[in-house]
Amino acid sequence: MTHTVNDEESLDTVSQTLKLLGDKTRLTIMKLLDEQECCVCELVGIFNTSQPAVSQHLRKLKDAGFLRENRRGQWIFYSANRGSGQYELLQSLIARLPSQLYRIEELEKKGLRISCG
Amino acid sequence: MTHTVNDEESLDTVSQTLKLLGDKTRLTIMKLLDEQECCVCELVGIFNTSQPAVSQHLRKLKDAGFLRENRRGQWIFYSANRGSGQYELLQSLIARLPSQLYRIEELEKKGLRISCG
DNA sequence: TTATTATATAAGTATATAATTATATGCGCA
DNA sequence: TGCGCATATAATTATATACTTATATAATAA
């Protein structure tokens, strides 16, 4: 058995995934969205970045197949796509991270939670 | 139990590690060096990059604690540092990748192998 | 010692990435 | 319809990253 094209693809796929998750904001977003569906404005309230910055991170994660989106009225709720072919890899990474649910609780204290879901 | 400083560190540590390994060349280097100790000139022969480029990748990996170095004469041999605190994370990633030993075999065929080790 | 080989580092350049600002789109409601 | 809010996209700017070229360091061998 020798080197195959699939081998190369595996290196490409994994390195691209790691590059995507090698950003602290995106990694945190994935951890949180694996625990709890959130809309964009909640994520904006949680992270110290602008709405476009959050949108752009979400776009990259969605393009890679890591997110599901779910519109309800004017809000778009995002959550981890557990059907992604890369979900197991994602899971093995975020399982190491502390829960981010406390961020949602902080949002609630500030009255910024969108609870229409 | 609430949010702690360690939690933040975990997010920082993991995201930095993923950023480091989110480069295809570095990821491949780590896979290979986990299987087989190699010197710099062998890695230069294997990857299509210059010697300084390889050196710079090795430096980053070494700074992160992922590599052990071992000088023998004029050669410096690198291998995965299995004692790294992050080795388990590293292992969970590279275990998914195909063996890179075929690259060593190709080197041998070209007569570029440093077999003094 | 000098020459040669292996490796590292520094400086510069090119490219990629993330963030901001500005604008567009889409939905709900008066 | 028109307005306000949520989100997305485009364009720009700032920053980070990877690579190249040039040079320095270290070891060996003549």
- Model pLDDT, residue B93: 97
Determine how β-strand B38-39 pairs with β-strand B75-80: antiparallel
- Closest nucleotide to B42, Cα to C1': C6
Give me B80's structure tokens: 């995965």
- Closest nucleotide to B114, Cα to C1': C6
Could you tell me the residue ranges of all domains in chain A? 5-109
Q: pLDDT tens across B36-65, in order? A: 999 999 999 999 799 999 999 999 999 999
- Model pLDDT, residue B4: 55
Smallest Cα–Cα separation from B10: which of A92, A40, A24? A24
Q: What percentage of residues in chain B have a pLDDT greater than 90? A: 82
Mean pLDDT lowest among A5-9, A71-75, A97-101: A5-9
Residue B113, phi-psi category: left (phi > 0), alpha (psi -120 to 50), beta (remainder): beta
Distance from CA of A30 to the nearest CA of B (A): 12
Q: How confident is the model at residue A73 (pLDDT cuts 50, 70, 90)?
A: very high
Task: Return all residues near A5 (Cβ < 8 A) that are at least 6 apart.
Answer: none
Domain A5-109 sits in CATH at: 1.10.10.10
Does residue A105 contact residue A113 with C-beta atoms inside 8 Å?
no
Q: Which residue type is seen at B80?
A: A
